[in-house]
């Protein structure tokens, strides 16, 4: 959502101003008992503002959160500290594979600004070794990425307005469809559907599973503006990270506000369910205008993480 950032920054000066994983839904015993929905807490400060954030198995298999800030990717730890993992040019969206490796949207080495054809996806090992994963297709601005339950890599190119699906090893890439200013992307828990946010048309699109691929984008929700990130809860509901607020979009229901963006002291960008069983109801949120990673209690269970192998 880089094209919107400068306008948001000016508005803040003038007015004071979230990968999904496969697994079963939580059993009835996994009742969440947290603070009121919408409670926001500070978690950790990073060197710069952030955008991409994702959760998955860490080096020891434990739930881990990763954040893209500046030109680096950081690992967040439950003790409220952050450790730099790797440098990646222009990092944006992050998704975590079953083996704990990261797929990070970014730029090719030496690509300046938003030069056409300079976009790439990077592979970062749990030990921090970074290499280009996908980069020969002339991508303009790979923005957000998700791992499907069968291990494939779905990603958006915001500048080109396209949605892609790659094999788990990145060897083949297929264009799935066109979505204006395609931004956040996520998979349904069963892998039968991809959700894609169109930042400028105020819509969430759905791409339904069709054989070994996905069908054309169709409108799933309308009138939801400025959606940057999509996080999927275990019950199939969506948590939308928007420039104005965090919104809950339940399966088959109407959207409702979780908390206004003003509570984050900047512009919330993306979310990831957190540490502990099913994230314990907390969503960790990156911020385009603040160095602080915060968490908000959404009262929803996240998807159980796959076991690292």
Tell which wins on pLDDT, 292 or 10.
Answer: 292
- Determine the average pLDDT of the residues in 15-29: 39
Whether 6 has a pLDDT exceeding 50, the answer reads no
**Contact in structure between 236 and 189 (CB atoms under 8 Å):** yes
Confidence of residue 114 (pLDDT cuts 50, 70, 90): low
Say if residue 15's pLDDT is above 50: no
Let me know if residue 18 belongs to a domain: yes
Per-residue pLDDT at 31 exceeds 70: no
Residue 301 pLDDT more than 60? yes
DSSP labels, 229-266: EEEEBTTS-EEEEESSEEEEE-TTS--EEEEEGGGGTS
Q: What is the pLDDT of residues 222-266, one digit of tens each?
A: 999 999 999 999 999 999 999 999 999 998 788 999 999 999 999
Structure tokens of 284? Answer: 């960790």
Predicted confidence at residue 96, as pLDDT, reads 95
Q: Which residues have C-beta within 8 Å of that of residue 113, sequence separation ≥ 6?
A: none
Neighbours of 207 (CB within 10 A): 24
**In-domain check, residue 87:** yes
What gap in Å lies between CA 33 and CA 103, rounded to an integer? 33
The percent of residues in the chain predicted with pLDDT above 90, rounded, is 75
For residues 91 and 22, the model is more confident at 91
Give the pLDDT band of residue 113 (cuts 50, 70, 90): low
pLDDT above 70: percentage of residues in the chain: 86
Lookup result for tokens 């280009």: 132
CATH, residue 153? 2.120.10.30
Phi/psi-derived region of residue 279, left when phi > 0, alpha when psi is between -120 and 50, beta in every other case: left
- On average, the pLDDT of the chain sits at 87
Domain membership of residue 308 (yes or no) is no
Residue pLDDT, tens place only, 59-73: 888 889 999 999 999
Does residue 114 fall inside a structural domain?
Answer: yes
Element (H, E) at 201: none
Range of the structural domain that residue 52 is part of = 2-297
Q: How far apart are CA 161 and CA 144, in angstroms?
A: 12
pLDDT for position 25: 47
pTM of the shown model: 0.89
Task: Tell me whether residue 303 is in a domain.
Answer: no
pLDDT above 80 for 165: yes
Total structural domains within the chain? 1
Identify the pLDDT of residue 58: 86
231 part of a folded domain: yes
Overall average pLDDT of the 132-160 stretch: 94
Instruction: Write the burial class of residue 60 (CB in 10 Å: 0-12 exposed, 13-18 middle, 19+ buried).
Output: exposed
User: Is residue 30 scored above 80 in pLDDT?
Assistant: no
What does the pLDDT average to over 82-106? 95
């Amino acid at each position: 959502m880089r094209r919107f950032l400068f306008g948001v920054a000016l508005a803040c000066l003038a007015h004071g101003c979230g990968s999904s994983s496969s697994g079963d839904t939580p059993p009835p015993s996994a009742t969440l008992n947290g603070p009121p929905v919408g409670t926001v807490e500070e978690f950790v400060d990073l060197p710069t503002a952030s955008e991409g954030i994702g959760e998955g198995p860490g080096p020891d298999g434990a739930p881990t959160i990763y954040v893209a800030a500046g030109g680096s990717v950081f690992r967040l730890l439950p003790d409220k500290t952050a450790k730099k993992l790797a440098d990646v040019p222009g990092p944006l969206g992050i998704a975590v594979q079953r083996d704990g490796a990261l797929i990070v949207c970014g730029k090719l080495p030496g690509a300046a600004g938003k030069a056409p054809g300079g976009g790439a996806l990077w592979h970062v090992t749990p030990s921090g070794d970074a290499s280009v994963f996908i980069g020969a297709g002339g991508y303009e601005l790979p923005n957000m990425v998700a791992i499907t339950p069968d291990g494939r890599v779905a990603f958006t190119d915001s500048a080109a307005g396209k949605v892609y699906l790659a094999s788990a090893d990145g060897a083949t890439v297929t264009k799935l469809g066109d979505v204006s200013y395609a931004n956040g992307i996520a998979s349904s828990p069963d892998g039968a559907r991809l959700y894609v946010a169109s930042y400028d048309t105020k819509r969430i699109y759905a791409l339904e599973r069709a054989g070994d691929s996905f069908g054309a984008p169709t409108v799933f929700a309308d009138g939801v503006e400025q959606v940057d990130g999509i996080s999927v809860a275990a019950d199939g509901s969506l948590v939308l990270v928007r420039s104005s607020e965090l919104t809950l979009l339940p399966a088959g229901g109407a959207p409702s506000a979780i908390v206004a963006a003003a509570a984050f002291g900047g512009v919330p960008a993306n979310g990831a369910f957190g540490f502990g069983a099913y994230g314990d109801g907390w969503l960790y949120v990156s911020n385009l205008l603040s160095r602080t990673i915060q968490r908000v209690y959404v009262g929803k269970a996240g998807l159980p993480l796959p076991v690292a192998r």
